[in-house]
Structure 1
Amino acid sequence: MERKRKMVTKMKHRKSLLIGMIVLVAFYSCVPTREIRDENIAVPDNYQNHSADTVNTGLVEWKQFFKDSNLIALIDTALVKNQELNIMLQRVDMAKNVIQAKKGEYLPFVNFQAAAEVEKVGEYTRNGAVEKNLEVKEGEEFPEPLTNYMVGAYATWELDVWKKLRNEKKAAVFEYLSSVEGKNFMVTNLVAEIANSYYELMALDNQMAIIDQNLEIQQNALQMVKLQKQAARATELAVKRFQAEVMKNRSHKYEIQQQIVEVENRLNFLIGRSPQHIQRESDNFIDTPIDTVYAGIPSQLLQNRPDVRSAEFELAAAKLDTKAAKANFYPQFTIKAGLGLEAFDTKYLTTTPESVLYSAIGDMVAPLINRNAIKAQYKNATAQQLQAVYEYEKAILNAYIEVANQLSNIENLKKSYELKDGQVQALTESIDLSTRLFQSARVEYIEVLLAQREALESRMELVETKKDQMLAQVNMYRALGGGWN
């Protein structure tokens, strides 16, 4: 009879095991999957109309790229005091803290607990009857109301069978690395913005000097026309036209002065200080040499550009988030254990082994019915991964196009500057020529006026083109990923 009972029990165990395996296989078959295409990181071998040379200006440190000591001092100050950059640094620290939090999630949690309670139960209840029975057996009455004291430690540990927690921790690491690259990208843009504003300020100084020089020429021309009128060789109309031209340029001078104030304050804001004069040497701006910028090869952008690297880390994090979201469909295994001392009176609390309590529980929890929430979470994770693929590809394409645009811009500005420089020389000579011809009554006053106006405009355009050349150098450096190192 006993043998038959054991066989029945054994068969029941086998049957339960078989049912469990069937349920587990059916469970796995219901886990959804979604195919996501790999990212495309292919770039051309070289830039259009440029040789495939690996020399890259983007690898040069910014203190070596910029030669102006005043500009270097401004950038140094901004890297310490710029508010936006300091805000970004706090975000990087927060991302680093997430790693620490995720790292602790797949380690056991151990908590200390101490408690005291008092309870009065009815005598004709289960607990009351047990207490009454124990009182008779032990010959000692239970305290009424009943107190209880406990001290112990409890541990919980989720077994990371499916690597969900470890993937979440690795994803947090990639998010942190992405935030670091985001900070680097902000530094790159900050350095470029300060340099651009600084060169714009120098260009405005030169335009102001040109207007002052032109005003002196126009004042002399105005005096000449007045003398010509007194000699009946010019009319009041000529005098008024020259006076109007002088007042026009004086007005333009105030416009440039306002622009100088605004650019100075923009620089002061970027370096985190109140409005004040920006130290600079603008006298030799027009003669500043334009150094050659080496673009390297397009594939270097994948390593040099912080925004591209940030997008790459975001994609890596998104892939791990997808794996972690998929693990939610699998069973979750948890171990809980406790060890401590418990007694109804503190004098018995340290009496062992009678007051010792311990527990050990193993749990397996798996979603079975109504898994809509985790399905939606998984779908969102896969959608975010695909979005990260597009973001990464967009960052690569944008980087390549920015460099290609700046290469073309530098070349075209060089040709434009050479032509404008010749134009300035010719129009500057025309001022003296038209003045002498007017004095000898061989041309009308309007010719002198137009010669002065055109010479002024050409000189202003030459300064503007020089500024554009300087900005193109800076923007090329930024496009190559320089400035953050």
Structure 2
Amino acid sequence: MRKKIIYPCLGAAILTLLFAACSIPAVVEKTPGKDVPGGYTDSRDTTNTAKVSWREYFTDPNLVALIDTALNNNQELNITLQEIRIAQNEVKARKGEYLPFVDVKAGAGIDKVARYTSRGASEATTEIEPGREMPEPLPDYLVGAFASWEVDIWHKLRNAKKSAVMRYLSSVEGKNFMVTNLVSEIANAYYELLALDNQLQIVKRNIEIQSNALKIVRLQKEAARVTELAVRKFEAEVLSTRSLQYEIQQQIIETENRINFLLGRYPQPVARDSDAFTTIIPDTIQAGIPAQLLENRPDIRQAELELQAAKLDVMVAKANFYPSVGITAGIGLQAFDPTYLVKTPESLLYNVAGDLVAPLVNRNAIKATYNSANAKQIQAAYNYERTILKAYIEVANQLAKIDNLGKSYELKSMQVEALVQSINIANDLFTSARAEYMEVLLTQRDALESKFELVETRKQQMNARVSIYQALGGGWN
């Protein structure tokens, strides 16, 4: 008799499984390419600046102190740390889903059944013991443990847990990438602040030079050697330079406050050594080989982990087409009188049940979830390829920029030296009436602009040094 019942059930289960497996829609997967060029140049030296800790890479103690403060106080970074904890808790939740759920239950109740019903009439004529009828109303006391468990035969729940683990690790890499960006942003703002300080000093020195020239022009005007036009031109030039001084001072305040914001503090002066800015000599950068980007760059590792998680999500979505096996069980004690709870086996209750459930009709939602998971996997593959390509181009750009800025700085230094000498020459020629006042003004203006450009080029050199360190994947370790 049992065989007659079991065999048809097994047959139905097998047919259901075959139907589910045969009707899974076909999808196209994408395997991302990891091939990168052998090197940025002909060199294949694997020495890589990204391996250097940021504390060693940035030697300015003021800058190191600023970065240290930001890594502790930056609000956005602390928000990301909480997201990592959320991802970690998601892993724990996923892990618990494929383990049995066991609940302990205790309850008490009372039940009054109408006498003129089939149940009421039968209970009224039932005796518990000879001469003792069922109590009315009927109390009910229960103590027991009940369990439920979905048997993870298709690894749907385990793959979901693995996917959560990949996303947790991805969030850690995301935090590392944020640290890299934060370190770079502070360093760039710090060098910008030093450049502004030096430009402000240049403006102040230029104001002194122009003011002295204005005094000379006024004396020459009194001697009738120049006209009032020359005096007014020199006055306008002094006023223009003074106006530039306040513009730079405002930029200094805004840059300081940008740094303060990154450090998570209210506006206050930023400690710095501006005098050392022009004497800084950028170090030689060792770029290593492009293949090291896969290991050093947190954003590449994050994209790779997201890809692995997306692949696992496809497997989870695919498992939804297969039957799920569930087991429920319970054991406990139940009686209408608390004193009867300990009388076993009469008060003992237990149950065990298993079920096999498979989607049969209207599986559009499952198909849509499966197709979407596969589309996200393809997206993740393209994003992984794009991240690698972007990293390589960033490094190549910064290497070229460092080389070109070095050559440009040498030429601009020579230009500044020539223009500074031309100011003295122009002043001497003007004093001896051998040069027009416009020549003096233009020479002073050209010298000021060239000094500004020299400072700006030095700032760009330092920013390129920061950017190449970031592009190679340094700054997070």
SS in 1 for 2:274: coil
Give 1:25 deviation, angstroms. Answer: 2.1
Match of residue 103 from structure 2? 111
Give 1:16 deviation, angstroms. Answer: 5.7
Range that drifts further, 120-129 or 75-84: 120-129
SS in 2 for 1:340: strand
Match of residue 447 from structure 1? 439
Match of residue 337 from structure 1? 329
The answer to whether the 8 Å contact 2:16/2:358 transfers is: no
Match of residue 40 from structure 1? 33
Matched, 1:463 2:440: no
Match of residue 481 from structure 1? 473
Matched, 1:155 2:143: no
Matches within 5 A, 1:426-437: 426-437=418-429
Q: What residue ranges of structure 1 are gaps of 5+ in the alignment?
A: 1-5
| AA of the residue aligned to 2:362 | N
The whole-number CA distance in structure 1 between the counterparts of 2:42 and 2:465 is 17
Give 1:433 deviation, angstroms. Answer: 0.5
Match of residue 424 from structure 1? 416
The whole-number CA distance in structure 1 between the counterparts of 2:69 and 2:325 is 54
Give the aligned length.
477
Change in Cα spacing, 1:13 to 1:426, as seen in structure 2 (3 Å) is closer
Give 1:454 deviation, angstroms. Answer: 0.5
Matches within 5 A, 1:11-26: 17-18=10-11, 20-26=13-19
| AA of the residue aligned to 2:470 | R
Match of residue 30 from structure 1? 23
The whole-number CA distance in structure 1 between the counterparts of 2:9 and 2:97 is 33
Match of residue 389 from structure 2? 397
Give 1:20 deviation, angstroms. Answer: 4.4
The whole-number CA distance in structure 1 between the counterparts of 2:400 and 2:42 is 10
Matches within 5 A, 1:373-388: 373-388=365-380
Match of residue 188 from structure 1? 180
Which deviations, in whole Å up to 9, do the C-alpha atoms of 1:293-333 show, x marking residues without a partner? 11111111111000110000000000001100110111111
1:265 paired residue among 250, 257, 263: 257
The answer to whether the 8 Å contact 2:128/2:134 transfers is: no
Which deviations, in whole Å up to 9, do the C-alpha atoms of 1:431-474 show, x marking residues without a partner? 00011111111111111111111101100100000000000000
The whole-number CA distance in structure 1 between the counterparts of 2:241 and 2:6 is 102
Change in Cα spacing, 1:403 to 1:29, as seen in structure 2 (3 Å) is same
Change in Cα spacing, 1:220 to 1:121, as seen in structure 2 (3 Å) is same
Give 1:77 deviation, angstroms. Answer: 0.2
Give 1:42 deviation, angstroms. Answer: 1.0
Matches within 5 A, 1:155-174: 155-174=147-166
| AA of the residue aligned to 1:450 | L
| AA of the residue aligned to 2:286 | Y
Match of residue 216 from structure 1? 208
Matches within 5 A, 1:8-157: 17-18=10-11, 20-47=13-40, 49-135=41-127, 138-157=130-149
| AA of the residue aligned to 2:287 | A
Identity %: 59
Over the residues paired in the alignment, what is the CA RMSD in angstroms?
1.4
SS in 1 for 2:170: helix
The answer to whether the 8 Å contact 2:469/2:475 transfers is: yes
SS in 1 for 2:275: coil
1:279 paired residue among 249, 268, 271: 271
SS in 2 for 1:286: coil
Which deviations, in whole Å up to 9, do the C-alpha atoms of 1:128-185 show, x marking residues without a partner? 2331332286421212111111011101111100000000000000000000000000
The whole-number CA distance in structure 1 between the counterparts of 2:431 and 2:35 is 69
The whole-number CA distance in structure 2 between the counterparts of 1:241 and 1:319 is 72
Q: What residue ranges of structure 2 are gaps of 5+ in the alignment?
A: none
SS in 1 for 2:473: coil
SS in 2 for 1:269: helix
Matches within 5 A, 1:198-347: 198-347=190-339
SS in 2 for 1:287: coil
